[in-house]
Structure 1
Amino acid sequence: MSDAVLEKALELGKLIANSEKYQTMRQKESAMMSDVDACMLIEQFQQLQRSHQMVRMQGHELTESQVNDVYEMEEKMMNNPLIKEFAEIQDQFQKYLGQVNEQISEGIEGKPKESHSCSSCGPHS
């Protein structure tokens, strides 16, 4: 049993995997994960996230100091050029996937997203 939609979805996935955007993102990820300093920063951030998640799971709110720790750790991470490059290219890739999804939606609905209008949405500027 063959489903043309699923076949095209698989084909689309392969096209995305072979795209320059995806390949560049994977290269930046590999470079980042090969760097000891970047890996240390990522591990520290993940430990901080786990610690804060445990606090929240116990029904407590994070203190201002704990929230500030997260912002400081994010800033440290973004000061690492390899992490920053990966984060930027990953963001670009996510936007690209959003565009792909918009095209799929347009194909389903038969009209571009910008032409969407309904009374519950209110006027568009």
Structure 2
Amino acid sequence: MSDMVLDKALELGKFIAESEKYKTMREKEAAMMSDVDAIALIEKFQHLQQSHQIMRMQGQELTDEQLNEVYAMEDKMMSNPLIREFAEIQEQFQKFLNQVNERISEGIEGNPPKAHSCSACGPHS
């Protein structure tokens, strides 16, 4: 029985990989990663995050100025249309995966999940 479950999981993974949501996400990712400006913005943002993470690990509090620097860099990064498009489709794909997980849970539990008002989860269908 467990082999059949694993086979079905593999089959589900293949269906997801063939979905338009997944294909679109990969296309947006490729477009973003082929753009020199987008890559530079992403690298700057990641470097800033890493340096602040090191500070926090050393027990240092981030100043308001440092936090504002992160927010400003994030805004600048998200103003790039390729990065913004990828982030949006990636969020949509994550919501899709959450829906898949909810259906799997429904199959395991035998009843639909209770509705909730988690704005991060998006609308349920």
TM score, norm. by length of structure 2: 0.89
| Letter of the structure 2 residue corresponding to residue 97 of structure 1 | L
In structure 2, the residue matched to 1:123 is none
| Letter of the structure 2 residue corresponding to residue 9 of structure 1 | A
Task: Please say if 1:26 is aligned against 2:26.
Answer: yes
Q: Distance in 2 between matches of 1:59 and 1:15?
A: 46
Give the RMSD, CA atoms, in angstroms. 1.6
Q: Which has the larger radius of gyration?
A: 1
Give unpaired runs (5+ residues) of structure 1. Answer: 117-125
Q: CA deviation at 1:114?
A: 2.4
Q: Distance in 1 between matches of 2:96 and 2:67?
A: 31
Q: Distance in 2 between matches of 1:57 and 1:23?
A: 38
| Letter of the structure 2 residue corresponding to residue 25 of structure 1 | M
| Letter of the structure 1 residue corresponding to residue 89 of structure 2 | I
Residue-pair matches, total: 116
In structure 2, the residue matched to 1:110 is 110
Q: Distance in 2 between matches of 1:76 and 1:58?
A: 28
Q: CA deviation at 1:5?
A: 0.6
Secondary structure of the equivalent of 2:87? helix
| Letter of the structure 1 residue corresponding to residue 77 of structure 2 | M
Q: CA deviation at 1:2?
A: 6.7
Stretches (4+) displaced over 6 A: none
Identity %: 73
Q: CA deviation at 1:61?
A: 1.3
Q: Kindly provide the CA deviation profile for residues 61-112 of structure 1, in whole angstroms up to 9, marking residues without a partner as x.
A: 1111111111101100111000000000000000000000000000000001
Q: CA deviation at 1:115?
A: 6.9
In structure 2, the residue matched to 1:70 is 70
| Letter of the structure 2 residue corresponding to residue 53 of structure 1 | Q
